[in-house]
Structure formats: structure tokens, C-alpha cells
Amino acid sequence: MGLLDLSRKLIMKASAIRAVQRIDELGAISETDDGLLRQFLSQANLRAAEKILEWMSLLGMHCEHQADGTIRGILSGSNPTAKPLLLGSHIDTVAHAGKYDGALGVIAALAALEDLLESGCTLPFPVHVLGFSDEEGVRFQATYLGSRAVVAGLDESLLSCRDAAGDALRDVLERDGWHDGAAHFRYAPGDVLGYVELHIEQGRVLEEAKLPIGVVSGIAGQSRISITLKGQADHAGTTPMPLRRDAMVGAAACVLAAESLAHAHSPLVATVGQISLSPNVSNSVPESVKFSLDFRHPDDEQRVELLDLLSHQFHQIAQQRDLEIHWQVVQESGAVACDDFLIEKISRAAKKVTGRCLTLASGAGHDGVMMQQIGPIGMIFVRCLKGLSHHPDEYCAPEDIAAGIDVLVEFLNSFHEA
């Protein structure tokens, strides 16, 4: 532990202590007793939103809620007509969730504003703190519904999505309480100074670097591919090796090729996470193997180029082994770059707080993917234990939360000084 970390551990500001308490308080609001779950438009999500609106009111913010459960608190600056700076994150969770993913970004923003107000600093623009009602996409199998609604609205195809109970998003929106009297705020491109989100890292880069804070360069683009190799089923005892067309051995060669490519082209990450064999029996040479490839890179051009290279390698492996290959692109999403000006400002703040500055790409998606449609985005990552998220053991140390709040304060202060 460095000296700065140690001092944060020993002397914690009231705002940081309160933030840690609020994480616990919000983490206790759940649909189920069996682990934390707050889906889009659930009663638990709405209760969490009300709780945060209370906290916003304590800061004297002007509070609003959307029909879809997204909330907003506005702190006027010295110039109420200036373009606002947006802070925030999401307040929904996956099943068996941790209590930091999403919630920390909203709570840390409020803590930073508390510090700012206490120090008598007035910003030359309004700050909007947003708590998005859906980012995880658990209920309707569609992500970023909260941030999507405030930058683009929810179109017919999304409103027709149904949850596991068979209810359409449209009907749930009209039924579940938040519709009447709700604000319908929306941002258009150019409306805002920028959107800055603080979030747990969900990886182990900061832990390895022994740093509480990282500055995000951008959100990686992603390709999801489904690959099938088809050879010939044969008796495992009676078929000599040279006569085999073993789909599993071909798949194994592909898995290693993907790993080698990613190792050689950091920050590329490539993962084969799902695999199924046919027939899946011990005494038969596998006839066909279907497997997934998750392929991410912060630079779209490089991602496409490297994926082409890997596809070529997979086809070569198939050819050498006399296997048929089927390569199907299941999903493709482009990278989103963080704004250079915001990166620079966040980096200075991070260096001031932690003594060092580490910039890293986010391999996971965040609300910034939507928010970049209306203005520049920036992100601050806070170290989390073992990189664990989407898990009850998700943990972020209080001193790291304090560091995150401090970075936000320094970042906001930099506008005051300017």
C-alpha cells in the first residue's frame, strides 16, 4: 500500500464514509432475498431510485424521474444556461449481483458534489447526476435501456420486447407506477459538455498495477462469432489416427490460435467460452464441434484486421484437417473512444490523487456507449477485488472509493480553476 493509499485508509472524509454507507443501503434494496437483484422497472429498482432522489434533495438538487425509472438531479452552476456536465451510472443490477456495479458511479458523483459544495466551489455550468434505470438488460434482454431512452428514446421494436413473464416493455411502462407526472427529459447531440462515469473496473489491471484508479481510454469494440467444425464420427478404438477427421482436435487448434493471436496483439482479447460436441461420448471421435469466439479491441480497424487474420487461420486449420468450417458473425459493435480533453483532465486529477496515472481500455460495455451520441464521454475506473463483478463477492475497498470521489472532485475543481 502506498503512502497516499494509507492516508486515505486512515483519514477518510465524511463524504466518503457516507458513500460507503449508501452503497450498503442501496445494496439492501433487492427484488429477492436470494442475493441482490434490481431489474429494470422492478419495485426494487423504483425504491432504489426514490432513495437516491432523497440524497439528491439533501444537496439541494432539482430532482426528476423519467417514466422508465431513470432519475436526474440538477445542481445549478454560476451560469444556469451553460451546457451541463453529466455524471452518473446505472442503478439496475444483474441477478446475484454485487452492490458496487453501477450504484457506485451515482453515489460517488453525489459525494463529489457534496465535497465541492462544502468547499464553496461553484462551477461555471450545471451538473446533472443521472441514475439510469437499465444498463444490464437482464429483464428485456436489451442493454442500455435507461441511457438509450434519454438520448434516443425507446423505439417500437424495443417497446415490443417481452420479459420472462411475457409482458411487453410498453405495457410495463404504462402500468408500473412511474408513468404519471414523470418528466420526459431527453438530450440532443451538442446539448452537453460531456458525460463522465465512475465505475468499478470489473477486471484485474488496476489490482495488478497496485493502483486504486484508472483512466479509461475508450470502450472496446466487440465481435461475437459462432464457429462450427464438421468432420466425421468414428469409433475411438478402431480408427487409426491418420484416418480421422476429428472436429475436436480442429477446435483445439483454433482455441490455441485465438489465444496466440491475442497474446501477440495486446490489448486484443479473444475468448472461447462456450463449446458443444456432437456426439459428446467418450468412445467416439467427435463429428462436429460448435464454439463461440468473443473478440474485443479498442481500435475497430485493428479488430477487423485481426479477426480477418484469425478467420484465415481457422480456415487453414479446417483445410489441413479436412474439416468443414462454418463461420457466423453473431454480433458486432464498434469501439467508443473517450474524449481526449476529458481523458486529459481526468488523468491530471487521477495523478494528483494517486500519484500515478494509468490509462486502460474498457473491455466491458457501459452507458457511455449510448451517451457518446450526444457529446464527449469520459470514464474513471475504480479498482475492485480480484476483478470480480456480477457476483455477491464483488468488493471495492472504502479507501479506493474515497480515491474515486477525490478524483471526481479534482476533475470538477479543474473547471472551477480554469
Residues that bind a second copy (CB under 8 A): 201-205, 208, 220, 222, 224, 234-243, 246, 248-249, 251-253, 255-256, 259, 262-263, 266-277, 279-286, 292, 294, 296, 362-365, 387, 389-390
Compute the distance between CA of residue 230 and CA of residue 404 in angstroms, rounded to an integer.
50
Contacting residues for 382 by C-beta, under 8 A, at least 6 apart: 104, 108, 198, 199, 200, 201, 206, 212, 213, 396, 400, 401, 403, 404
User: Cβ 267 to a second copy, closest distance in Å?
Assistant: 7
Q: Based on CB atoms, which residue is closest to a second copy, 190 or 273?
A: 273
Query: What stretches of 95-200 adopt beta strand conformation (E)?
Result: 127-132, 194-200
User: Cβ 257 to a second copy, closest distance in Å?
Assistant: 9
**Best CA proximity match to 189, nearest among 396, 413, 28, 375:** 375
C-alpha cell read off for 155: 423505439
Q: Based on CB atoms, which residue is closest to a second copy, 42 or 228?
A: 228
Cβ-based burial of 236 (10 A; exposed 0-12, middle 13-18, buried ≥19): middle
Number of DSSP helices (H) and strands (E) in the chain, helices first? 13, 16
User: Cβ 196 to a second copy, closest distance in Å?
Assistant: 19
Compute the distance between CA of residue 41 and CA of residue 69 in angstroms, rounded to an integer.
6
User: Cβ 40 to a second copy, closest distance in Å?
Assistant: 20
**Residues 10, 15, 17: CA angle, nearest 5 degrees:** 50
Do 270 and 261 contact (CB within 8 A), yes or no? Answer: yes
Compute the distance between CA of residue 170 and CA of residue 156 in angstroms, rounded to an integer.
9
- Count CB atoms within 10 A of the CB of residue 174: 11
* Length of the chain in terms of residues written: 418
**Best CA proximity match to 4, nearest among 350, 346, 355:** 355
User: Cβ 303 to a second copy, closest distance in Å?
Assistant: 12
Q: Based on CB atoms, which residue is closest to a second copy, 45 or 389?
A: 389
User: Cβ 65 to a second copy, closest distance in Å?
Assistant: 31
User: Cβ 259 to a second copy, closest distance in Å?
Assistant: 5
Do 125 and 80 contact (CB within 8 A), yes or no? Answer: no
Q: Based on CB atoms, which residue is closest to a second copy, 181 or 273?
A: 273
Q: Based on CB atoms, which residue is closest to a second copy, 52 or 253?
A: 253
User: Cβ 54 to a second copy, closest distance in Å?
Assistant: 33
Q: Based on CB atoms, which residue is closest to a second copy, 108 or 251?
A: 251
Q: Based on CB atoms, which residue is closest to a second copy, 114 or 394?
A: 394
Q: Based on CB atoms, which residue is closest to a second copy, 9 or 321?
A: 321
